[in-house]
Amino acid sequence: MIGPATTLIPRARIENLQRTGQPHLRPIYAAMNAGAGFLMVRQRSGRFDLPKRGAVVTIVGDDTDHALGPAGFHSKSMRRLLAAARSVIVIASDIEREAYAAAAASALLGASSVIIETRPEQEGAWLDLVKREAPSAALVLWTVAEGTA
């Protein structure tokens, strides 16, 4: 599934994405092919629901030209999403393939993960939200090297 509204994707399309999709997302497509869910939430997309069962990898896309931080997302939906997560990865730097692979591996083991893609200026706001709403989730932060932001 992709997006706040659930969209079923044919298995052949998932298999094709597994081979030809963006390299950092290929492990997630492979997890989808094995039965995991995938949810992508974009800025200002409004309310969204979580799948009722099964492990899900959710990507929160706040890495556009102007990152909005948590204020750019439906607050109640974000609270529910984070409360259900076993791990949260905040990426405030370039794409880190290992982060996506780790989230996919968690989903294959039955644990839902959230990847928050953001910019350095919103890193602190996202970390505050995650610590408040998902205090027991494993937290990984990928940030820019000091002096390069």
Q: Is residue 130 included in any domain, yes or no?
A: yes
Q: Is residue 97 included in any domain, yes or no?
A: yes
Rounded to an integer, the average pLDDT of 64-89 is: 96
Number of domains in the chain: 1
Residue tagged 């497509």 (tokens): 29
Rounded to an integer, the average pLDDT of 5-28 is: 81
Q: Is residue 5 included in any domain, yes or no?
A: no
The answer, yes or no, to whether residue 2 has pLDDT greater than 60, is no
Q: Is residue 69 included in any domain, yes or no?
A: yes
The answer, yes or no, to whether residue 4 has pLDDT greater than 50, is no
Q: Is residue 147 included in any domain, yes or no?
A: no
Q: How far is Cα 112 from Cα 32, in angstroms, rounded to an integer?
A: 12
Q: How far is Cα 141 from Cα 23, in angstroms, rounded to an integer?
A: 20
pLDDT at 20: 83
Contact 101, 18 (CB under 8 A): no
For residue 26, give its domain range.
11-142
The string of pLDDT tens digits covering residues 24-75 is: 999 999 999 899 999 999 999 999 998 877 899 999 999 999 999 999 999 9
7 band by pLDDT with thresholds 50, 70 and 90: low
Q: Is residue 3 included in any domain, yes or no?
A: no
Q: Number of helices and strands (H, E) in the chain?
A: 5, 5
Q: Is residue 39 included in any domain, yes or no?
A: yes
